[in-house]
Amino acid sequence: MSRSIPTFALVLALLGPAGAHAAARGVTVDGDRITVGDLAPTMPRAVLDIDVAPAPAPGARTHITRAAVADALRRAGADETLADGLPSRQEVKRAAEAIDVEGLTAEVREAALAELPLGVSIERVTGLSATSVPPGGHRVEVVLGRLRRSTTATVHVFVGTKRWTTQQATLALTGVAKTPVLRRAMAPGTTVTDEDVHLREVAIDELPEGAITRTDQLVGKRLRTRQGGDAPLRRTAAEPLPIITRGSVVNLVAQRPGFTITRQVVAQQDGGQGQVIRVKPVDDDTRTMVVTVHGSNDVRVHALGGRR
C-alpha cells in the first residue's frame, strides 16, 4: 500500500479538534448508499467508492460514526487507520424532492381523469398526505376501485421504475358516465370496430367493477366471450389481437445491465401486445418460459419455468 495513504490519516489527526469540528458539518447524499467518498471526499481515490451504510429515507437524517467508516475500510481490505482523523460522528441527510398535498392532489386528478369515463368529473380528492422522494423526477399512477360517487383510489408514486410510496385516496365523483357499449350482441372471437360501438349514458353507481370506460379499451380488441348489446362491459370482455401466433418462431430478448442475450423460441400460444405467453427454446422443448409480448417478432423475459 502507498505510504501516502497513512499520511492522510496523520494530517487529519494533526488538525486537532478544530479540524474535526470543521469536518463534522452535515453531508447530503443522493443515492441509496453512503460511501467513504461522501464522508471524506479527500481520501485516496482507491477508497472513495467503499460502501459504508444504507442512506436514510429521502429527507431523513442519520449519523455515521468514525468506527463505522473504519469497519467499512477493513471489510474492503483497506487501511482502517484512514478513518482516525475523521469526526467521531457525522450527520448524513438524504436529498429529497418534497411533494406537498396540493401538488400530489393535482397529479392524482390528472391521472384519474385519464381513466374515468367521459362525462365524469372529480369534485374533490381527500386522504392524501405530503411525501418525499429522491430527486430526479417522479410520476404518479392511479388505480381506481369500483366506480361509485365516492371511489377509492390507490396512488403509486414512482421514481424511475421503482415504486417509492403508495397511498389511499378517496375521489368524490360527479356527472353521468358516457361509456362505450356494443350496438348489438356479438359472438366470441369477433374484432370490435368503430361501427360496432356507441356511447351510452350510465349512472356512475351502475357501472360494473372493472368497466370499460374508454372507446380505445374496446375498439380493435377481440371479444373473449359472447357479449350482449347496449350494456356496459368489463375490461376482461375483450383482449388485444394476437400479434404472435402459436407455433411461430420469435426472438426472446433478455436484458441485464451491460449486456443483452437473444435466442429463438417457439410460441406455445397466441399473444397480443403486452400479454404474457409461454414459449419454449427451439433447441429444448422440455423447458417452458413465461414471457411478455413486446412486438410481432419480439418477446421479453417475464419469469422462468422449470422442466415440464
Average pLDDT over residues 110-139: 94
Kindly report the pTM of this predicted structure.
0.65
In angstroms, rounded to a whole number, what is the distance separating the alpha carbons of residues 152 and 108? 12
What's the confidence (pLDDT) of residue 283? 87
* 142 phi and psi angles, rounded to 5 deg: -120, 125
* Distant-in-sequence, close-in-space partners of 86: CB < 8 Å, separation ≥ 6: 12, 20, 23, 39, 40, 66, 69
Long-range contacts at 241-245 (CB < 8 A, ≥ 24 apart): 241/191, 241/272, 242/270, 242/271, 242/272, 243/271, 243/272, 243/273, 243/293, 243/295, 243/296, 244/270, 244/271, 244/277, 244/293, 244/296, 244/297, 244/299, 245/270
What's the confidence (pLDDT) of residue 25? 58
List the domains of the chain with CATH numbers.
4-94 (no CATH), 99-240 (3.90.1210.10), 242-307 (2.30.30.760)
Q: For the chain, give the mean pLDDT.
A: 87
Could you read off the pLDDT of 157-200 as tens digits, one per residue? 999 888 999 999 999 999 999 999 999 999 999 999 999 999 99
In angstroms, rounded to a whole number, what is the distance separating the alpha carbons of residues 16 and 165? 44
Torsion of CA 232, 237, 238, 244, to 10 degrees: 170
- The residue assigned the cell 436529498 is 95
Could you read off the pLDDT of 61-84 as tens digits, one per residue? 999 999 999 999 999 999 999 999
Average pLDDT over residues 225-246: 90
Could you read off the pLDDT of 22-55 as tens digits, one per residue? 445 589 998 889 999 999 999 999 999 999 999 9
What's the confidence (pLDDT) of residue 127? 97
